[in-house]
Amino acid sequence: MPAPDTLPGTPLYGQFPTALRFSVREQSRNRLAALLLLLFVPLWYLLMTAIAGDKDVDFKLYATGEMLSVGGKHITLITAGLNALTMISGFVVFDAVRKALAFDKRLAFAGFGQSTLVGAKMLAIGIVASTIALYTALALLLYWRPGFTGWGTILAGFATMTLTYGSLGLLLGVLVKNDLEGFFLIIMGGLTDTFLQNPLGNPAANKPVLQYFPSFGPMQFSVGGSLGDTVLWRYLGFGLIWAASFAVVGLIVFHFRTRSRRPKG
């Protein structure tokens, strides 16, 4: 008679490494997102710089109150990168989380620690988001060489932005019922958020109301570092607060949606 193999002993597979590995895999198996990242990002930069031209624009750095006169092309490259990232990272995480929700619930019922699953999912989002941000920041070098510190701050701004929209993807993935709603919210949210920050496309770009948008912090940080010779860490923090807020709400909803409903006798 076969004995149940749940008796004491070392489990064959650890829960955290297994969940992390498979979460990264499910998020990185999105072929459309990979294609968008590889081809769309460089083309998007090309298109946006062509539209931007060589005109200088004023950009307000809120930390110093200083009004910078910067190349419209450079500002546009940063907003174009941020914009592409919102769509790609939001889409990747939303798609993976939504499709795996019922499966994750089954795993949790089978004994997978919910907090382990949640932690692994979040770390996987971090890994995938950082990879997407790195590629997008590298592709920017085809059109502009802002210097190492400048590029570093752009990369950090991009990484914060991918985390924010990755976390938004997570939140929408556990909340909305179908694909279209989620995609629409991510695309419209990302477009509105990033384009309003660009003074070339939006004459009201330097207005204080923009401080309350998720891309405000990463945009200020990236522009400050690459065009203003100032590294505004506090502004990177603003972006991270957005990312953390979306993630915390998303993970709380995830926790509720994967818990057991069995009425106790």
Partner 1 sequence: MTTRPEPALTARDIHKAYGRHQVLRGVDLRVDPGQLVAVVGENGSGKSTLLKAIAGTLRVDRGEVALSGTLGYCPQDPVLNANLTVDQHLRYFAAAHRLTALDRADELVRLLGYEKYRDTAAGDLSGGTRQKLNLTLALLHDPDVLLLDEPYQGFDWETYLRFWDLVDQLHERDKAVVVITHLVFEQERFDVLADLVDGRLTPRDTAVKEPSHAGA
Residues that bind partner 1 (CB under 8 A): 1-2, 4-7, 9-15, 18-19, 22, 25-26, 29, 96, 99-100, 102-103, 105-107, 109-112, 260-265
**Which residue's CB is nearer to partner 1, number 19 or number 129?**
19
Q: Considering the complex, what minimum distance in angstroms separates the CB of residue 3 from partner 1?
A: 8
Angstrom distances, CA of residue 116 to CA of 44, 95, 175, 251, 262: 38, 21, 21, 12, 21
Angstrom distances, CA of residue 109 to CA of 11, 117, 175, 257, 259: 18, 12, 20, 11, 7
Instruction: Report how far residue 152's alpha carbon sits from residue 227's, in angstroms, rounded to the nearest whole number.
Output: 12
Three-state DSSP state, 261? coil
Determine contact, residues 172/251, Cβ cutoff 8 Å: no
Q: Considering the complex, what minimum distance in angstroms separates the CB of residue 180 from partner 1?
A: 19
Determine contact, residues 154/230, Cβ cutoff 8 Å: no
**Which residue's CB is nearer to partner 1, number 26 or number 193?**
26
Q: Considering the complex, what minimum distance in angstroms separates the CB of residue 98 from partner 1?
A: 12
**Which residue's CB is nearer to partner 1, number 29 or number 234?**
29
**Which residue's CB is nearer to partner 1, number 91 or number 242?**
91
